[in-house]
Structure 1
C-alpha cells in the first residue's frame, strides 16, 4: 500500500527530525514524518540553544554526553558537509554561593567527574579570566565545563530533516494528526487532515501537544505547557562568543546567560514559568516588571549591566512533566506506540541522543542508554527523576 510505512513519526521539531534521521540511519526503509506546521517551526525555534552535560540526574548526563559528541562533528555524523548546527564551543560556567544550592552543585559536579566528564573546579580569579564582565565575589564553588557551549536548534532540526530525506524519509508539513488508530491494543496507523496513513509503529514527539496521546488513548499524559521569557540585553561591555555560557545558582531566578549575536547577552530564568491552560506556542506578553526584576538580577552579577538596554525579547514554551524530565519509550497499554515528550527545557541539548534512543527502541535494537528510568510508570511508582536543584530546567 502506498500509504503504509514502517514507522510514522508525529512532529518535525528537533526531536522528531533527529528520530527520523536515526530511523533511516539504522535501516528503516519507509519512514513518514508528519508535522502540523513546518520543520522546526514550533517550540524548537524558541530554544535558547545551550549545550552542556551538567545535570544532577545521572541519566541526563549520559544523554547529554552522547549528544555533545554528535554536535562536535555534526556534518561528519550526518554525512553532509553542508549540515550545520551553529555550534559555538565556548564552555560552561556554573557557580553557587554558601547556601542551599552549594551541596547540590558539589554533588552534581562530582557526578559528572565520576562519569568521565571533564569538569574543572576553579576560583574567582580564573572565572573572571573566562568571563571578565562578571564578578564572583560570593561564589563558594565554581565549576567549568570546557566541552560545552550553544548552538542553533532550528538549524539542527532542518539539518536532521534534510539528512533524513536524503536517506529516503518522507516528511509532510502542514499535516495535522487527528487520531491514532488502534485495533486490539495495537497501533495500526493515524488519521490526519490529509487522509489515513498505516503503520504498526508510531513515535510521538509532540512536546506540548503530547496531551493528544491521552485524548486518543486514555493513557494519562502528565505534561503541561509552561511559558518562559527570554531577554537579549545590550550592555556597555560585550558578551562575546569567546565567553562561556553562565549559570548563576546564586540568583533568585537561577539565571542562565550566554552570548547572543556576538555582543549581546541572552538571559532567562531557570525556574518555574507561567503554566498555560492549553498547548500554545504563540508569543506571550512580557511585563515591564518582569524585565526590571531580571535586569536587577543580571546587574548583581554583571555590574556594568546596570546600564544595559533591552535589545529584544521573546517567549518560549516548555513541555513540562511533574519531575521536569522527559517520558521516553513504549507505552505499555498500546503496542507499537513510542513517545518522547516532557523535555522541560532539555530537549535541544539531548536531541541527538534521544533521536538515537527512540529509533533504536522502535527498531528493537539495543539502546545506548536504558530507557527504564524515563518510563511513564515512574509517576505511578514514585521513582521520579527529580534533580538536586528542585524544579527548573537545570535538573
Structure 2
C-alpha cells in the first residue's frame, strides 16, 4: 500500500486544477485517480463559455480570478505548451421589461463594484456587435468585453500535464470503490487497483459525488441533470467568432448562444433539465419536439434562423445542487475530506480559482476566497446561494 500526502478523486477540469495547484503549493506526494481518462467525463460536454456575470456575488469573485488565469493561460501555468483555446469575443446579456430586469441591473452593478469592465448598450449598439439578432424588446443590455469562450478539454489536459511535470502521479482507468475512515478521519481509498493511503482526500467527482454519501453516510445533495446542446447552421447569417456570446433572459428557456466552428450557432437552454435516476454521462435521446421548441425560441431573437438547419446535437450532464451552486471545502464531521461538487453547469468557468482554493483548504492554508458561503451546512441552515434569475446555469 502506497502512501501519499494528498489524493484527488477525479481528473476533470476541477480535479486537474486542484492537482496542479497542490503541486504549486508544495503539497508533496500527490496522487490523482480518474475512472476514465483525463478530461473525458462531463468536462468534454461543456459549452466552454467564460464570463464573470453572475447574480450570486460570491461567484463573481471566483469567476473574476479565474478569468485572469484564462487570459494568459500558458503564463499562469508557467508552461509554454499549455493552451485554453480562448476566443475573446465578449459576453452580452439582455432582459425585457418584467421580472428579470431589476435582477439584471443588480448583477451588472455587482460586477462593476468588483472592478469588472461592463458596458450598457443601446439596442443599436447591440445590433452592431451581434447583427444577426434583433433587440426590439430589450429594456437593458449589458456587455462584458473581456469575456468569451474556451475549450474545457484543453484546459483540463493542460492542468494535468503541468501537474505531472511538477511530480503529480495521475492514474487513469481507476475506479475508487471506498473511502477509508479511521476514528473520524480519512486515511485512504480502496480502488480497482488496490489501496492507497492518505490523510487528505479531495473529491472532485462531479455527478458521481453521491458516492460520498454512500461511503460516509454524510448527505450529499447533488443530482445528475441532462441538458441538450444544438448547433445550428444558417447560410448567409453566420454566427462568427467576432460576435459575442449572448444570454437571452427574455426567452422562455433563458437561452445562451455562441459561435461554434466560426459559422454555426451553439445554443442551449439555461433552465432546469432532465433529472437522471443515476449518474450517467452517456449521450441521451433528443426529441424532434424539443429541437423545434428551441428553434422557435432562437427564431424570435434571430429571425433568419427560422430557416436554419441542425448541424449537430449532443447532451451534457450537470451535477446540480438544490440552489444550483457548488459545495466547496471541508466536510463537517469527517476530518481530512475536502469536496468540490455541484457546479451546476459553471464549473469550467470557475476552475482555476476553485482549484486553488480547494488546494489551499486541503493544505490547511487560508483560502484566497472565503468558502463559508459554499459550505455543505447551508442546506440545513437555509443560507442558500440561489440566483436572482431563478434556477438555472446563470446563477
Identify the residue that residue 60 of structure 2 maps to in structure 1: 61
List structure 1 runs of 4+ shifted beyond 6 angstroms.
Answer: none
Identify the residue that residue 284 of structure 2 maps to in structure 1: 284
Q: Distance in 2 between matches of 1:364 and 1:66?
A: 21
Q: Distance in 1 between matches of 2:70 and 2:365?
A: 23
Identify the residue that residue 185 of structure 1 maps to in structure 2: 184
Q: Distance in 2 between matches of 1:164 and 1:3?
A: 19
Instruction: Please say if 1:156 is aligned against 2:155.
Output: yes
Instruction: Please say if 1:393 is aligned against 2:393.
Output: yes
Unaligned runs of 5+ in 2: none
Matches within 5 A, 1:227-242: 227-236=226-235, 237-242=237-242
Unaligned runs of 5+ in 1: none
Q: Distance in 1 between matches of 2:147 and 2:22?
A: 27
Could you give the per-residue CA deviations for residues 373-394 of structure 1, whole angstroms, max 9, x where no partner exists?
A: 0000000000000110110000
Identify the residue that residue 312 of structure 1 maps to in structure 2: 312
Q: Distance in 1 between matches of 2:311 and 2:50?
A: 23
Identify the residue that residue 49 of structure 2 maps to in structure 1: 50
Instruction: Please say if 1:380 is aligned against 2:380.
Output: yes
Identify the residue that residue 225 of structure 2 maps to in structure 1: 226
Matches within 5 A, 1:1-395: 3-236=2-235, 237-395=237-395
CA deviation after TM superposition for structure 1 residue 108, in Å: 0.6
Could you give the per-residue CA deviations for residues 283-338 of structure 1, whole angstroms, max 9, x where no partner exists?
A: 00000000000000000000110110000000000000000000000001110000
Q: Distance in 1 between matches of 2:53 and 2:118?
A: 9
Q: Distance in 2 between matches of 1:115 and 1:75?
A: 25
CA deviation after TM superposition for structure 1 residue 116, in Å: 1.1
CA deviation after TM superposition for structure 1 residue 114, in Å: 1.1
Q: Distance in 2 between matches of 1:205 and 1:175?
A: 14
Q: Distance in 1 between matches of 2:390 and 2:298?
A: 21
SS in 2 for 1:139: coil
Q: Distance in 2 between matches of 1:332 and 1:81?
A: 40
TM-score by length of 2: 0.99
Could you give the per-residue CA deviations for residues 180-207 of structure 1, whole angstroms, max 9, x where no partner exists?
A: 0000001000000000000000000001
Q: Distance in 2 between matches of 1:238 and 1:159?
A: 31
C-alpha root-mean-square deviation of aligned residues, in Å?
0.6
CA deviation after TM superposition for structure 1 residue 366, in Å: 1.5
SS in 2 for 1:8: strand
Q: Distance in 1 between matches of 2:296 and 2:285?
A: 20
Q: Distance in 2 between matches of 1:367 and 1:250?
A: 37
Moved more, 108-117 or 194-203: 108-117
CA deviation after TM superposition for structure 1 residue 82, in Å: 1.2
Q: Distance in 1 between matches of 2:2 and 2:313?
A: 43
Q: Distance in 1 between matches of 2:53 and 2:311?
A: 29
SS in 1 for 2:116: coil
Q: Distance in 1 between matches of 2:296 and 2:99?
A: 21
Q: Distance in 1 between matches of 2:182 and 2:27?
A: 23
CA deviation after TM superposition for structure 1 residue 258, in Å: 0.1
CA deviation after TM superposition for structure 1 residue 364, in Å: 1.4
